[in-house]
Amino acid sequence: MKVSERLYQTALPIWERYYTHPFIQGIADGTLPHEKFKFYMIQDHKYLMQYAKVFALGVIRATEESDMRMFGNLITATLDTENAVHQSYLEKFGITKDIINNTPMCLNNESYTNYMISIGFKGGLAEIAAALLACSWSYKLIGDYLASNYPDSKHHPFYANWVNTYTSENFRDCNDDMIAMCDRFTKNYTEEQIQALESIVKICSEYEYQFWDMAWMEGKNIFS
């Protein structure tokens, strides 16, 4: 069994909980209040800025030019492609850079991104890949879920742009690249090392669930 398959099996029970989360269900049927999505967009924009830094740590850790280019391309995909959908919604909401800069990161968001960055500093390329995969792979699965169970969501007048981003071939290709690099970087990993990667993915996946909670509750009482 590939290491990525083990990570998938470890995280899948957590990821499947996302499908029934009220925030995801609200996007699925188009009933999510815009104010909740607005809050999410601001926090997720801040998240992506930190997420891109984890890819940058991959550039620093890489010893092969091909790996450096791959991490560099994933930074571009995050900042230019995935972030583009955020910018379009932020503009719709009239949210300026000053508003974003003056809005603090929620506790969950800051804790999650700090955890990923700490993994990037302490671990190697495989650990970086594991930390990044929880977000990318789970969003891909959410896209699959929406496309299969709520096909009309891809045509919703407000949420279609978001749904179509995470069902796009470009996003899927980037996620496949991350899965492949995880398997390549773990080629000679021991059982103990693989179990450590499983722990990283599980922790990041739980953070992802808390992120949906944070977005749904608009940052209130997440840890109460």
Say which of 106, 127, 135, 204 is annotated catalytic.
135
Q: Does residue 182 have an active-site annotation?
A: no
Residue 218 known to be catalytic: no
| Reduced 3-state DSSP string for the chain | CCHHHHHHHHHHHHHHHHHCCHHHHHHHHCCCCHHHHHHHHHHHHHHHHHHHHHHHHHHHHCCCHHHHHHHHHHHHHHHHHHHHHHHHHHHHCCCCHHHHHHCCCCHHHHHHHHHHHHHHHHCCHHHHHHHHHHHHHHHHHHHHHHHHHCHHHHHCCCCHHHHHHHCCHHHHHHHHHHHHHHHHHCCCCCHHHHHHHHHHHHHHHHHHHHHHHHHHHCCCCCCC
**Do the beta carbons of residue 43 and residue 214 sit within 8 Å?**
yes
Active-site residue numbers? 135, 208
